[in-house]
Structure 1
Amino acid sequence: MENKKQLDLIGKKIIKKDDQMYQIIDFLNKNLKDRNIIFGLSLRDQDHMEITIYYS
């Protein structure tokens, strides 16, 4: 049986679409992974993105 660790959602925010956000999220994930904080980014619609922050 797999032992899956659940992620706890800390917060989320919808913002206007910005192509540079992928670089920012990548930077944050690389620099905060040792603190068990994970950032996510998803496209909500043509003009908006959602940023999520998780603690593992």
Structure 2
Amino acid sequence: MSLVSEKKEGKLELIAQKHFTPWDEMYLVVDFLNKHLKDKKVMFGLNKKNGEMVMSIYEVE
């Protein structure tokens, strides 16, 4: 018996990533995009990595 669920609901697939110079209000852009595009099955993420900001775009299945 497999312990891995075959349920795909809620699965995220990375579409793209972009590195930016740090900008304090970038999280506001990501929040805006997530609120207004959630019905389009996309989700945006923001991470600070090695002194850069990284925006990720995911497809939500």
The Cα offsets for residues 1-56 of structure 1, whole Å up to 9 and x where unpaired, read as 8746311111001110001100000000000001111000000123x110000011
* Inter-partner Cα distance in structure 1 for 2:57 and 2:44: 5
Structure 1 gaps of 5+ residues are none
Structure 2 gaps of 5+ residues are none
Q: How large is the Cα RMSD of the aligned pairs?
A: 1.6
TM-score (norm 1): 0.86
TM-score (norm 2): 0.79
- Show the counterpart of 2:21: 16
Alignment of 1:1-56 (within 5 A): 3=7, 5-46=10-51, 48-56=52-60
Over alpha carbons, which structure has the higher Rg? Answer: 2
Aligned identity (percent) is 40
Runs of 4+ in structure 1 displaced over 6 angstroms? Answer: none
